[in-house]
Structure 1
Amino acid sequence: MQIAYTMAPGRGDIDLILHQVAQSIMNAGHRPAGTAQINTERADAGPCDMDVLVLPNGPRVRISQDLGREARGCRLDPEALENAIGFVQASLPESDCLIVNKFGKHEVDGRGFRPVIAEAFALGQPVLVGLNQLNAPAFFEFVGGTARRIDPRAEDIVKWLLSSIDTRRDVASRVSRTHLPV
């Protein structure tokens, strides 16, 4: 199983990078499953709206709640996130790889994308995860220390994903040509 993660220092940087990566993978003729987060500034100068684009072709799901300009708590709408995760899980068997925009609090707590990541493992699909420092220890425990770190440069991430997809296809081709005795 091939799993990699990337971390970017600026707020929202990882979202932009992973969206670009997903577009590049699709332009190369592959079908990623997963999500790319799209943040939209608000006219009222409140916190941005957070949407995820379910890969490869949508829908776009609003995962933030409007709690008002002065709200300081978590704005994530857990029901909307789970809805997006359901779309991703349904598309996973026909996909070439999984891109998870963020291993966040829900994943740390054993929910969110964890089951989808596990299913991608079972399918032998390469997995790419956006990660922040706060959630890194739980992520490393979840993957058993097997994840590869890739610098937050879209071209490096795309190169890894394309290579991983090709490796997976080569292995599948060799297995399908192997004749096992009955």
Structure 2
Amino acid sequence: MKLAYTMAPGRGDTDLVLERVAIALAAQGLRCCGTVQINSARADAGPCDMDVRVLPDGAVLRISQDLGPESRGCRLDPAALETAVGLVEPRLKAGADLLIVNKFGKHEAEGRGFRTLIAEAVAMDVAVLVGLNARNLAAFEAFSGGLAVRLPPDVTALTDWGREAALKPAPAP
């Protein structure tokens, strides 16, 4: 199984690292599909806006919703997330070397979002690199059967793994 994840300690750090990895791997000629997250500061000093860019050069979608300044709940827009999944799926099926998913989050932990697409990529022997936070680590480990490789949040280490995993044939059963 060619499945790896990374976790960076600071808020938004995993997003920045995965975006740099996607750029580096594309520059090396790898066919990457998936999403990278872009966080934008808001003028009203509220929580950042969250967008995803569909790889390699697709649409940028706003996946957060403005729930007002006093809200404390999840700001993810589930419909926008599912739109992103719908845009990535044909790119995976058209042929990809690597699937990058910005986050295995709450929706994936509950069986939605990119979860099915991650499983499809693994079944197709496409390398998968996922961003993760500590809150969803147990759900991801259960999903992956504990077989995913944890990698440091380092652009070079992640790029090296992505290139090697994408180019290496799967082991014989």
TM-score category (smaller protein): over 0.9
What is aligned with 1:111? Answer: 112
Counterpart for residue 53 of structure 1: 53
Letter in 1 for 2:68: G
Structure 1 Cα separation of the partners of residues 113 and 102 of structure 2? 12
Give the structure 1 partner of residue 101 of structure 2.
100
In 2, distance between residues paired with 1:149 and 1:74? 26
Task: Please list, as runs of the form range in 1=range in 2, the aligned pairs for 1:19-34 lying within 5 A after superposition.
Answer: 19-34=19-34
The residue type paired with residue 151 of structure 1 is P
Question: C-alpha displacement at 1:46, in angstroms?
Answer: 1.0
State the one-letter code of the partner of 2:11: R
Q: Give 1:71 shift.
A: 1.7
**Equivalent pairs: percent with the same residue?**
57
Structure 1, residues 131-178: CA drift from partner, whole Å, max 9, x if none?
11110111001011101110000110000000111103xx69xxxxxx
- Secondary structure at the counterpart of residue 146 of structure 2: coil
Q: For residue 20 of structure 1, what is the amino acid of its counterpart?
A: R
Uncovered stretches (5+) of structure 1, i.e. residues with no partner: 173-182
2:5 and 2:122 map into 1 onto residues whose CA distance is 14
Which has the larger helix fraction? 1
Contact 2:52 2:60 in 1 (8 A): yes
Aligned partner of 1:17 in structure 2 is: 17
Q: TM-score, normalised by structure 1?
A: 0.91
Matched residue, 1:85: 85
Distance 2:116 2:130 in 1: 14
Compare relative contact order (CA 8 Å, sep 6+) and give the higher one, 1 or 2.
Answer: 2
Judge conservation of contact 2:97–2:167 (CA < 8 Å) in 1.
no
1:167 aligned partner: 168
Partner of 1:35, secondary structure, is strand
Equivalent pairs counted in the alignment come to: 170
Matched, 1:40 2:40: yes
Mean Cα deviation higher: 2-11 or 66-75: 66-75
Alpha-carbon distance between aligned partners in 1 of 2:30 and 2:122, rounded to the nearest angstrom: 18
For the pair shown, the structure with the greater C-alpha radius of gyration is 1
Q: Deviations over 1:50-79 (max 9, x none)?
A: 000001111101000011222211110000
In structure 2, how many angstroms separate the alpha carbons of the residues matched to 1:61 and 1:124?
A: 28
Q: Could you list the runs of 4 or more consecutive aligned residues of structure 1 that deviate by over 4 angstroms after TM superposition?
A: none
